[in-house]
């Protein structure tokens, strides 16, 4: 009997590992989950399998190798096995945030590839180091299977120099690679292809603005199915207001604050990264749910943080609309995009003159990580969608195609989730459970 093709996807953050196990042969998610508090006390795994109640287990994970070992032990656990042997795994896909100009598509991982990612760590100090740690840890545990890197920056390699060159001395680009790179590429790719399905259009004949709203935030202007511009730049700090990151600020703020606070540029950069955004404005909160709860309780700083984030989001949507010239749809995704009707409403209010008309009732109901929604009014010329992202599925398809030798850049590659008949069974089941709970509640 032929062996099923089973792919493990790993998304390693500085203190977490998100994973998914997918049976490509049967086109089914076998399991998914998240290990939190890696390198901290109180590490915990939340493990989900279709048709079963979620499982929560605790085990200290001082490093990423222990966390990945914990994932495999959970998949093999005698009381709730998903697979019977680690050798059933055919390949592993790894998220890597920054690939610079080296990579325009996912790539088989070699020592030379890892070295390239390590060289780029100065451009993504919060992300590339844990990504590399995860790769090395998984390779140590599963040395016999192919490991494939899926790059956040790859999708944005279609941008022209007009969009990605900064107005600084051009030799900085020539010498040091200073340019806009963009991130969240797998998320923007996935929701763009799913939006084309919802529009019933060729994916390379649609113009979209995709809004990935989470702790990290980025927008992408997508022209004829390809990234045309994006808000994150050389690093993951540019653009919109984020959970702890500042987004756009006057470059003169750096030397000004260095002098005022008697701090180094690196110290101020750390504040831009970890103490700014909605946290910096509110003084307390990074999670948008906490922001909204505090607003309702009368916290004016929380209200200001919300208003500033919504205002910046509206400005970027308007500017990208102007850059594209024609717009078919705006897509909201990411944790705050999928679960934040108040933020979506605030961003869309007043955009009617541009053909974007929100249906308030549809928007309120669109609150799930497991279902796709249209939230535009019937007379809205531009469609408004909420589409839960599925970066792990992009990882899976890229890994399988790489193993089979048929993978190519996304402009020449068709994903299974582009089909009109594509169904995510696990998400359908989860959404039905959500609906059942609401009925009982």
Q: Does residue 354 share a domain with residue 210?
A: yes
CB-neighbour burial class of residue 410 (10 A; exposed 0-12, middle 13-18, buried 19+): buried
Q: Is residue 122 part of a domain?
A: yes
Q: Is residue 40 part of a domain?
A: yes
* Residue 123 confidence (pLDDT): 81
Which residues make Cβ contacts (< 8 Å) with residue 69, sequence separation at least 6? 141
* Residue 1 confidence (pLDDT): 46
User: In terms of Cα–Cα distance, which of 286, 305, 321 is closest to 215?
Assistant: 286
Residue whose tokens read 């959500």: 434
Q: Does residue 359 share a domain with residue 211?
A: yes
Angle between helices 185-199 and 391-404 (to 10 degrees): 100
Q: Does residue 223 share a domain with residue 130?
A: no
Do the beta carbons of residue 46 and residue 33 sit within 8 Å?
yes
* Residue 197 confidence (pLDDT): 98
* Residue 124 confidence (pLDDT): 80
Do the beta carbons of residue 65 and residue 137 sit within 8 Å?
yes
d(CA 254, CA 291): 27
Q: Does residue 230 share a domain with residue 120?
A: no
Domain CATH for 138: 3.30.420.40
Please state whether 117 falls in left (phi above 0), alpha (psi between -120 and 50) or beta.
alpha
Do the beta carbons of residue 133 and residue 63 sit within 8 Å?
yes
Q: Would you give the distance in Å from CA 93 to the centre of its chain?
A: 15
Boundary of a domain, candidates 132, 151, 170: 151
Around Cβ 323, how many Cβ atoms within 10 Å? 16
Q: Enter the pTM of the model.
A: 0.92
Tell me the two tokens of residue 200: 């019933």
* Residue 148 confidence (pLDDT): 96
Q: Is residue 296 part of a domain?
A: yes
Angle between helices 265-274 and 253-261 (to 10 degrees): 110
Q: Does residue 255 share a domain with residue 334?
A: yes
Q: Does residue 131 share a domain with residue 223?
A: no
Tell me the two tokens of residue 45: 């795994």
Which residues make Cβ contacts (< 8 Å) with residue 397, sequence separation at least 6? 415, 416, 417
Give the CA angle between residues 97, 136, 398 to the nearest 5°: 50
Boundary of a domain, candidates 119, 151, 183: 151
Q: Is residue 298 part of a domain?
A: yes
Q: Does residue 139 share a domain with residue 22?
A: yes
d(CA 291, CA 285): 6
User: In terms of Cα–Cα distance, which of 190, 180, 241 is closest to 424?
Assistant: 190
What positions carry a catalytic annotation?
152
pLDDT in tens, the chain (441 residues): 468 999 999 988 777 889 999 999 998 899 999 998 888 888 899 999 988 888 898 889 888 888 899 999 999 987 888 999 999 999 999 999 899 898 999 999 999 999 999 988 888 877 888 889 889 989 998 999 999 999 999 999 999 999 999 999 999 999 999 999 999 999 999 999 999 999 999 999 999 999 999 989 999 999 999 999 999 999 889 999 999 999 999 999 999 999 999 999 999 999 999 999 999 999 999 999 999 999 999 999 999 999 999 999 999 999 999 999 999 999 999 999 999 999 999 999 999 999 999 999 999 999 999 999 999 999 999 999 999 999 989 999 999 999 999 999 999 999 999 999 998 888 888 898 899 888 887
Q: Is residue 367 part of a domain?
A: yes
Q: Does residue 218 share a domain with residue 87?
A: no
Q: Is residue 186 part of a domain?
A: no
Q: Does residue 205 share a domain with residue 147?
A: no
d(CA 308, CA 314): 10
d(CA 93, CA 71): 15
Q: Does residue 353 share a domain with residue 269?
A: yes
* Residue 2 confidence (pLDDT): 60
Angle between helices 300-324 and 341-348 (to 10 degrees): 60
Q: Is residue 12 part of a domain?
A: yes
Q: Does residue 215 share a domain with residue 110?
A: no
User: In terms of Cα–Cα distance, which of 148, 156, 228 is closest to 187?
Assistant: 156
The number of domains in the chain is 2
Q: Does residue 250 share a domain with residue 338?
A: yes
Give the CA angle between residues 302, 213, 282 to the nearest 5°: 15
Q: Is residue 107 part of a domain?
A: yes
Boundary of a domain, candidates 342, 369, 386: 386
Enclosing domain of residue 64: 6-151
CB-neighbour burial class of residue 412 (10 A; exposed 0-12, middle 13-18, buried 19+): exposed
């Amino acid at each position: 009997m032929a062996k099923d093709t089973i792919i493990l996807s790993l998304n390693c953050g500085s203190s977490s590992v998100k994973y998914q196990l997918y049976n490509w042969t049967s086109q089914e998610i076998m399991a998914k989950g998240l290990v939190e508090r890696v390198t901290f006390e109180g590490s915990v795994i939340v493990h989900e399998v279709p048709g079963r109640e979620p499982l929560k287990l605790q085990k200290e994970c001082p490093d990423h190798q222990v966390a990945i070992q914990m994932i495999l032990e959970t998949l093999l656990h005698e009381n709730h096995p998903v697979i019977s042997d680690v050798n059933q795994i055919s390949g592993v896909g790894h998220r890597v945030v920054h690939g610079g100009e080296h990579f325009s598509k996912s790539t088989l991982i070699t020592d030379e590839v890892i070295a390239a990612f390590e060289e780029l760590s100065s451009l993504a100090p919060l992300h590339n180091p844990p990504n590399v740690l995860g790769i090395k840890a998984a390779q140590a545990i599963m040395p016999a299977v192919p490991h494939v890197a899926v790059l956040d920056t790859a999708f944005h390699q279609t941008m022209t120099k007009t969009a990605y060159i900064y107005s600084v001395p051009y030799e900085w680009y020539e010498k040091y690679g200073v340019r806009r790179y963009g991130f969240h590429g797998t998320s923007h790719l996935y929701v763009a292809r799913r939006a084309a399905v919802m529009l019933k259009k060729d994916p390379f004949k649609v113009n979209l603005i995709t809004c990935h709203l989470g702790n990290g935030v980025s927008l992408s202007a997508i022209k004829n199915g390809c990234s045309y511009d994006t808000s994150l730049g050389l690093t993951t700090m540019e653009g919109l207001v984020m959970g702890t990151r500042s987004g756009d600020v006057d470059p003169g703020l750096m030397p000004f604050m260095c002098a005022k606070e008697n701090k180094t540029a690196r110290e101020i950069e750390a504040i831009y990264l970890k103490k700014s955004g909605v946290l910096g404005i509110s003084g307390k909160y990074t999670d948008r749910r906490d922001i909204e709860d505090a607003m309702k309780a009368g916290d004016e700083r929380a209200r200001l943080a919300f208003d500033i984030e919504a205002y910046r989001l509206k400005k970027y949507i308007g500017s990208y609309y102007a850059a594209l010239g024609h717009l078919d749809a705006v897509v909201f995704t990411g944790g705050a995009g999928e679960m934040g009707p108040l933020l979506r409403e605030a961003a869309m209010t007043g955009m009617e003159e541009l053909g974007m008309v929100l249906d308030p009732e549809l928007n309120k109901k669109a609150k799930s990580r497991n279902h796709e929604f249209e939230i535009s009014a019937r007379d809205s010329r531009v469609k408004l969608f909420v589409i839960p992202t599925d970066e792990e599925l992009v990882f899976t398809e890229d890994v399988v195609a790489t193993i089979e030798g048929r993978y190519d850049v996304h402009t020449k590659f068709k994903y299974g989730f582009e089909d009109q008949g594509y169904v995510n069974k696990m998400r359908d089941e989860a959404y039905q459970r959500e609906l059942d709970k609401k009925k009982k509640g």
